[in-house]
Structure formats: C-alpha cells, structure tokens
Structure 1
C-alpha cells in the first residue's frame, strides 16, 4: 500500500490542543483534539500545564509517525501568543508558563515606563498597546526584577510555538510572528529589538531568529523530515488569504474579538490609534500587518443572554433569526450616533430598554446594528487610505446573515464576503513551508466565499 504524503501540524489553543495531518491538496485526513486541566504557577494563579503538553506532543507525534498509512514529510506548529516557556542549561523547563491574563504589578509597570521613555513612546515604537502580561516582553522584565534567581537560571525563553519546535528538534529559535505581536519587544521602525531589550540584557535569553518560511531537515524516527519554526496563530490564520488573493483586502477575523487585519497598510501607528486598540501583527515574511480590535464577540455573547432572558427564548435563538431589511430602519432609528460611543467599549445596545422592542427579532437587529457602528469605525482604522476594495469575514460572524448584510451596507463601495477556511490556523502553518514538502500547486477551493450585495439586500 502506498502511503499518503502529509504534513503534521500541532495547533495549540488556550482551550483545545489539536493535531492534524494535512495532505498535498490541503485536505485534513486526520484530526485529534484534547484539552488539559490547568495547573497553577508559583503565585497560585492558573496556568498551562507544560509537562502535560510536552508528553502529549511526544505521544501524538510518535503515534502518527508509526502509522504506515501516512508518510509525514514535514512538521510545523501554531499556538496562541504572549506566552513564554523558560528553559535552563539542562533543557529543563525552569518556571511555569505565565498566563497572559494574569495581573501585572502596577508599581513595576510604572517603574518600567518611567525608566524607558513612557507608555506612549514604547507603545508607538513597538506597535503594541499597553496590555500588561499580554505584552510578553513585560513577563521577562517582571522575572528579572521580581525573581532574579530565576532570571539567572534561564538559558532561553522561547515563545510557545518555538518551544514546540524545540521539543521536536532540540534547537532554540525565535520567530518574528511571535516577537512582532503586541510583545513590546520589537522596534518596528528600526526592525530589530527595542533599545530597552538590550539595556535590560533581555536579549541574552532570546534565541536566534529563524525565518518563518524556512525549515530544518532532520532525521526523525529514521526518515528525513522538514520541520518549521512555528508561528503565532493570528499570523498563521492570515496566510491562506495572502496565498490566494493578490488584490488588497482586509480580513475581519471574528470570535471573542473582531480583529480587522490589513496586510496592505504601511502607515505608522499614531498615539490616538494605539489608544483605540490598534496594533501591528507581523506576517510570516516579516512585514507588519496593521490591525484594529473590537470586543464585539464578547458583547454579542452577553447581550444575546440578556435578550433570551427578556423574551423567554433559548440562548441559541439568535441563530434562527433571518435577516429582515424592514427591521433595519427601525433599528437604525433608535441607534445613537456612533461618534458618541467609545470605540472600544460596549456599543449603545447595553443601555437600551428592551421593553421598547416588540419582538426578539427587532431587538436583535438593533443589537447587530449597534455593533456594526463600532465595527465600521474599527475597520476604518485598519483600512485608512489603502487601496483595499475587498473585505473578508471569517469566524462566527461570517455565518450571521444580519451582521454580513449590515456590513455590506456599512461598506457599500467594497466587495464584502463571508469566508471560510477549515482550520485556517493549521492550514496557514502548512502553507508557510509549502515548498519544502509539497510540489503540487495550491488548490483553488481552499477558501469558500459567499458574496453579500448591498442593492438586493440578499445573500447571493
């Protein structure tokens, strides 16, 4: 029996840990998912269980390599960001993986910014809003000053994707997609680590940077295999779109956050944009991707619970609501001016009296209309004066016909598409090293698109 050539991808989320085998046509031929119970760090706060993850990676890869049905040509990794694994000189994990939601000490924060030029300057030069532990560089600063004995033990601090690479290759690398994503480590103008990293000698525990689109070829269980360095998940999820579309576009990636990503915007972030939660991601070739974030998915979750309770409907009822253009004018009539609403706070809907709505359907259209005011303002920050004429939406809101139709109305001069890539993060990690394991052309059906037209107010 001829074995199927595949690439193996580890895709590590905060909740679910996934493993995929993907064939040369970018179809998933094997998928495994698990979840780990959290452990606690040395302060008693919840954190990732790195030991359990390490064992799962080893067992899963060994099992996949032993299956004669598949010929694993390459391996790559994608994970959530803002997370370091700290290794000592014996290659042992020497500290817990800090949860990026952990509170950052206010006094240490003030000390850092007063020493290194202030919040506004650091944020602008590193294209990173001030986010505490979500600025993963601040985790290293905290270790240096609050746990100096640990800092002295660290040989390398590896971002989580590169730790997974280390588990397979034994090598120590850094990767630009992790370094360049709201870490406050990278100076986007100088295209090197920020001065504070050198001044604090943080650079000594950061491994050499390895290109995100290159591989090491190593013998693993008796056969040579190409191993990628691993990528930050947001950057990986953008790759299928960059691979398939040459014309400028914005991708609105929707989930808990709605992130508008514009790989075609080279404008420097302004202090005002940083206060509105704009930032730069780094795509896998090392080019900045201007982005804006909106907490709209979280608001949608909270407000649909409120609607369900008020109208005595099940929590999922919003999924049954069809788009009704006749309800949009009434929704817009009770919608206040978007300019009066703080962009990154909750929309106007949070203060609405639900008794003014006759039906769940009317109220839900109003909720999406209010969210759309915020979405329009947020996405405009990413588009700016670029030549973008297409907007792709993936994630949860891409399946919401009310959101999609109102987005088309909000951007009448753009082509608006609901887009779907099965496991986009894993597919992106495979695409990043395509040429090292796959000699077939990229398939044309990798991304499913649904076009939303304004004039007809219908999905085509």
Structure 2
C-alpha cells in the first residue's frame, strides 16, 4: 500500500480531493461541483450540507481501498467565510457568501464606533469593508440578527470547520485570521481592539499554529488530521519553504495577486489601503499583497476584440509575441483601452482601435495590461531589494504576458511555474515534517526560466 496524505481543496466553484505520496507527487484526484443554494435573504451561497456529505463519503471510500494507506489529512479552502456552531456543534446559519452586500447602516455604525476608515484598513490589512472581511459578518450578525448571534458557541473559519467535521475540536489558525478579515491588528499582532470591545473573541476558538495536527483514531485507523489552511497562504508555502532568497509571487487568474512575504509592515508607511491587502504566513508573519482585476479585464476586452475583428472565441490563444508588431506599437505609444473593471490614470474615456489586424490590437492590449501589472508589483516591492519574480496561474502560459514581463523587469529573474496543484500541495506540506530543497519547484512545479528578448 502507498502511504498518502489526503487533501480537500475547496474552491468557490470546484471542490477537489487529492492524494499525495511521500514525495508530494499526486497519485489520485477527484473533482465535484455543487449548485449554489440561497440563504434566508435570497443571496446565493455554498451548499454546506452537500459539501459535508461529499467530504465524508469520499474520505471513507478512500479508507476502504487496498491501494492507499492514509497517514494524514488536511484542508485548504477559500477565505472570508465563517461557519457558526450552536451548543450541539451544529451550523446555525447558511455559509454566508462573501459577495453578500453589507447593510450600510451596520457599516456606518461600525465606523462611528471605531474611527478613521483609512487607519482601520491599514491596521487590519484590508482593501475595503464588506462581507469580504469575515469579521464584519460577525458584527453584522450581532446587530442584524441578535437572536442568532446569542446562540453561537463558536464561529469557525471554513478551513477549520472542515477539520472540525473530522475531529470535533474547534480551533482558529493564523492564515484564516489574517486574510483580510478585519479581525487582526497587524501592528499589535493580536485581535483588533474592536473584537474585544464587542466580545467577539468569546466565540473565536483558541489560536493554534497552522502546522498543528491532531492524531486520532478515525474508523479504526490512526490518522494525523490537520487544522486547515487558507488557500492563498497555502499556495505561497511551497515557494517560501524551497526558495532561500527574497521573491515576489504573482498568482494570476481572474484576480492577479502579487504576494510579497518579505515586506516590512508599519503604519508609518502610510500606504493607501486601496493598493494593498494582507495575508498571513503560517507562522503569523504578514504577507503584503497587491491585487489587480487583470484576468477579468482581459476576458472582457478580448471578447470585444473578437467581435470587432470577427475572430473565434479561442483565436487569442494562438497569438504569439512578435517583436516587429510590438516595436510598431511602442513608437509614439499611447493608451487606447477604456477599462471596465479597473481604474487607471492613463485610461481614455473611450476605446479607439486604430489597427487593421487583431494581432496588433492584442499586442496593444497586453502591453497596457502588463504596464498595470508592473506598476502594481513595483509599488508592492517598494525600496526592497527583490530580484526574483515567480508567476503562476492562467497568465503563466500567455506568451505575450511573459515576454513583456521579462522585458519590463529586465533587472529581475523571472520564472514561471505550473501551480495547478498550488493550494492543495501547500496544505500537504503544512502538516509534513519534510524539508524542501531548491529543486522542489523544478521537480513538482515545472519551473521555467525566462530571459528578456533582445532589443534590436
């Protein structure tokens, strides 16, 4: 039998189950998708009961196989989500979606009590105040649904709730607390004072290290059960563990999130909160992050280019970087795209396409998007001496994005990785005693080096 670590990697859309062997090689995977249900206000949300049933069903099936011996299990999930338990350990409410609108009256009352919004956002490492900050959900429950709030014994972040399903032990851990929850004061390295003033801390279980595991007898088998980890922190972990020099990880997708685990955090920086949010490493240290709605904007603009030039939906995937086309564009360069989901200072009031060919317009689009990405990363790095950039996710396979990034960051070493396993692998590593060496990314993540193109 192969000794394996089992990982449930729960995204908003897809729910995944992986088995990794002792060398962190994937040996088994399963995917499932659940239709959303609605909460009591009619807002779409996760089907928590279906998720819980699937977790137990899949895990018990794996335990019965003769092929694998499960030695450990852990959980990686999206953040900004709480499960509220009653005295019997049962969920009291639906799993409220972080896209749910927050009542303006509730938000106003919070800001009246707890002062300057800018200072609060800086202290707690948040971008804005909404349901995306899970702490605001607790405040909302206390004042909008007091009869429910009074029945809460514990509020568990989603990764810790999945662990609780298997252990029955309620805990909190750093990466979930630190992901823009508005609960944590990064200056004080403790819950923010408002958490104590509102007595929210009484329903938050004790904080344990993300590397904590609980040895249990589960269905007659001795298994090490992890306490769960927030997915962005999990995705960062293999890099932090295997790279000794400073770096920035650019995780690209619908959101392009640049993560700097080496940023020094200080309120005196007076950084605009709209530029940065904070995540937390497994040891409680902050990770400063800059986010950009890059993948979303790319999708919207490519759709328009397809319509304008009469191209098929997938045509853009076949366009490779062409130096001569790029050189034509940068002569007397000006911004021509009006963004739909990004605010930028150089943006015109309307998109005007002066090109006859799709390829030229596409090169222009990618140049403008990469310039936004460069600006975001430079702000994130600041005065720090960081010479290494790692790019994973959707844009790591986009030829123009990578060529332009390596061109504009000629002073940095650019690497791409295939991190389709990212957060799941991070969750497996977080409860493992194994040390990672510098060759780990090359062996497990298809690490590639990129050099800037030669300027003619």
Q: TM-score range by the shorter chain?
A: over 0.9
RMSD: 2.2
1:333 CA displacement: 4.0
The question of whether the paired residues in 2 share the 8 Å contact of 1:77 and 1:165 is answered with yes
Q: Which residue of 2 aligns with 1:260?
A: 258
Unaligned runs of 5+ in 1: none
1:455 CA displacement: 4.2
Is the alpha carbon distance of 1:40 and 1:174 closer, same or farther for their aligned partners in structure 2, counting shifts above 3 Å? same
1:372 aligns with 2:370: yes
CA distance in 2, matches of 1:417, 1:138: 38
CA distance in 2, matches of 1:330, 1:194: 53
Q: Which residue of 2 aligns with 1:99?
A: 97
Q: Which residue of 1 aligns with 2:313?
A: 315
CA distance in 2, matches of 1:400, 1:62: 40
TM-score (normalised: structure 1): 0.94
CA distance in 2, matches of 1:239, 1:194: 26
The question of whether the paired residues in 1 share the 8 Å contact of 2:393 and 2:420 is answered with no
CA distance in 2, matches of 1:309, 1:344: 21
Q: Which residue of 1 aligns with 2:165?
A: 167
Is the alpha carbon distance of 1:11 and 1:343 closer, same or farther for their aligned partners in structure 2, counting shifts above 3 Å? closer
Q: How does 1:47-196 map to 2 (within 5 A)?
A: 47-196=45-194
CA distance in 2, matches of 1:334, 1:47: 49
- Describe the SS at the equivalent of 2:80: coil
Q: Which residue of 1 aligns with 2:350?
A: 351
The question of whether the paired residues in 2 share the 8 Å contact of 1:335 and 1:366 is answered with no
- Describe the SS at the equivalent of 1:82: coil
The question of whether the paired residues in 2 share the 8 Å contact of 1:256 and 1:296 is answered with yes
Q: How does 1:180-219 map to 2 (within 5 A)?
A: 180-219=178-217
CA distance in 2, matches of 1:341, 1:38: 30
1:387 CA displacement: 2.1
CA distance in 1, matches of 2:335, 2:319: 25
CA distance in 2, matches of 1:351, 1:331: 19
- Describe the SS at the equivalent of 1:286: coil
Match of 2:411 among 410, 413, 420: 413
Q: Which residue of 1 aligns with 2:28?
A: 30
TM-superposition CA deviations, 1:71-127 (whole Å, max 9, x none): 100000000010001110011111011110111111211110111112112111111
The question of whether the paired residues in 2 share the 8 Å contact of 1:343 and 1:378 is answered with no
- Describe the SS at the equivalent of 1:326: helix
The question of whether the paired residues in 2 share the 8 Å contact of 1:259 and 1:294 is answered with yes
Is the alpha carbon distance of 1:97 and 1:333 closer, same or farther for their aligned partners in structure 2, counting shifts above 3 Å? farther
Is the alpha carbon distance of 1:421 and 1:349 closer, same or farther for their aligned partners in structure 2, counting shifts above 3 Å? farther
1:158 CA displacement: 0.5
1:358 CA displacement: 1.5
Match of 2:454 among 436, 441, 456: 456
TM-superposition CA deviations, 1:247-300 (whole Å, max 9, x none): 111000000011110111114364443122x01110112111111011111000
Match of 1:229 among 216, 227, 230: 227
CA distance in 2, matches of 1:172, 1:203: 14
TM-score (normalised: structure 2): 0.95
1:222 CA displacement: 1.2
Is the alpha carbon distance of 1:342 and 1:54 closer, same or farther for their aligned partners in structure 2, counting shifts above 3 Å? closer
Q: Which residue of 2 aligns with 1:273?
A: 272
Is the alpha carbon distance of 1:194 and 1:360 closer, same or farther for their aligned partners in structure 2, counting shifts above 3 Å? same
Match of 2:304 among 274, 283, 306: 306
CA distance in 2, matches of 1:439, 1:62: 30
Q: How many residues were matched structurally?
A: 451
Is the alpha carbon distance of 1:344 and 1:283 closer, same or farther for their aligned partners in structure 2, counting shifts above 3 Å? farther
